[in-house]
Amino acid sequence: MTWKPRPRAGVDDLALPLDARQGYLLSLLDGTLDVPTLAALMNLGEDAVTGMLQDMQRLGAVDSLHPAPGRVARPAAEAAPEPSPAPEPTEPEGEDPLAATRAATHRQLFEQHLHARPQDQRVAQAKVAVEPDLSAWCFDPTAEVIRAVLENPRVSGLHARLIAAHHRTTAGIEALGGRPAFTQDAGVRRALLQNPLLPPGLYRRLWSPRRLLDQYLVAISREAPEQVRTMARDVLRASFSQRAGEERADLILSTEGRCLASLVGLTLDSHATAILCRRPYTSVLLVQNIARWSAAPPQLITHLRRQDLVKRNQVLRQMLERHPNAS
């Protein structure tokens, strides 16, 4: 039986050290695609995809690549009830339980012992606090206290990650964003992407310089809230219009054209078009997505119609013939 990998439930993929290709592969996994299909979608060999999946399995991003021995499902008529096996010890999924426990403890400390104090007193104490109070002050809901925490000489990346994950005012998040030493921290960035109060200006400052593929992965992330995904799509569109032809073409090819749904109304320059017209096409999905993109250049449509894949596929031929830029 061909195994169809799927994401591991409950895991925050933004918290894992995945590279861009692994992140894109993870976005394709839904439990219905086997390794040969995934390899075809990514224009890679099956061995390369299997190697990536094995690395992602070790990181905890995907379930086992192979069904466990003796656990192959039988038809319902043949299946016999059997006692549930004792659960085997497994590594914790998602957030580090120790970190989660500490955060809960610090939040409890704030709510039970610090929250009731007047704001001016909380600000003064946050500036000079030591642990565990310093971590507890990161849960204060006011931007003034968060600014005081960031002025504390003992503040570290740990506190910045707590603020990024749990604070819910744009002013407080902006204060954190004004500290480059913290915003360069991968954990802070991941937490900010999951914070629905992430200010658009801060997102643009942090993600506009990044690769188009990185921006696209945020735009389709299942972990980011819709507000953040919307910002990511806006930044992606603005960046796409400014990047070199090589990067534009690479985004289209590496995503099998899925990114084009977010690029409606934008166009390709002659350099990107020439790159796309120099390669053969063997992916039905890629050709379909380009054919559905109204801005596909006439030269690219003509090139696609010459491909053997298109000549053998009547549906693709008809899609390209009906394209507004077909000559």
DSSP 14-43: GGS---HHHHHHHHH-SSS--HHHHHHHHT
Task: Using pLDDT thresholds of 50, 70 and 90, give the confidence band for residue 20.
Answer: low
Instruction: Find how far residue 193's CA is from the centre of its chain.
Output: 9
Q: Which helix (H) or strand (E) holds 144?
A: helix 143-151
Q: Is the pLDDT of residue 309 over 50?
A: yes
327/323 Cα distance (integer angstroms): 9
DSSP annotation of 324 reads T
- pLDDT over threshold 50, residue 89: no
Q: Structure pTM?
A: 0.67
- 21: exposed, middle or buried (C-beta count within 10 Å: 0-12, 13-18, 19+)? middle
Q: How far apart are CA 225 and CA 40, in angstroms?
A: 30
DSSP 182-202: HHTSHHHHHHHHT-TT--HHH
pLDDT at 90 over 50: no
**Number of alpha carbons in the 13 Å side-chain half-sphere of residue 181:** 7
Q: Where are the alpha helices (DSSP H) in 241-297?
A: 245-254, 270-277, 284-292
Residue 324 CA to its chain's centroid (Å): 33
Residue 87 confidence class, pLDDT cut points 50, 70, 90: very low
Q: In whole angstroms, how far apart are CA 284 and each of 28, 205, 218, 253, 317?
A: 16, 37, 25, 12, 11
Q: Kindly report the length of the chain.
A: 327
Q: If we measure between CA atoms, which residue out of 287, 294, 324 comes closest to residue 308?
A: 287
DSSP code, position 283? -
Query: What residues contact residue 233 under an 8 Å CB cut-off, 6+ apart?
Result: 219, 262
Cis peptide before 132 (omega within 30 of 0): yes
How confident is the model over 54-67, as a mean pLDDT?
74
Looking at residue 300, its pLDDT comes to 97
pLDDT at 29: 80
Q: How far apart are CA 226 and CA 219, in angstroms?
A: 9
Both ends of the chain: CA-CA distance in Å? Answer: 46
pLDDT of residue 100: 59
What pLDDT does 72 receive? 39
Least confident of 55-64, 118-127, 316-325: 55-64
* pLDDT of 86: 36
pLDDT given for residue 33 in this prediction: 79
Residues 210-254 pLDDT 10s: 999 999 999 999 999 999 999 999 999 999 999 999 999 999 999
What are the residue boundaries of the structural domains of the chain, listed by start? 13-58, 97-233, 248-321
Percent of the chain with pLDDT over 70: 84
pLDDT > 70? residue 161: yes
Distance CA 187, CA 196 (A): 16
Does the pLDDT of residue 77 top 50, yes or no? Answer: no
**pLDDT at residue 139 in the model:** 95
**Among 257, 249, 314, residue whose Cα is nearest residue 276:** 249
Per-residue model confidence (pLDDT) at position 2: 67
Average pLDDT over residues 143-166: 95
Contact 211, 240 (CB under 8 A): no
Q: Tokens standing for 107?
A: 């939040």
User: How far is 216 from 102, CA to CA, in rounded Å?
Assistant: 33
What CA–CA distance (Å, rounded) separates 191 from 168?
12
Cα(174)–Cα(246) distance, integer angstroms: 34
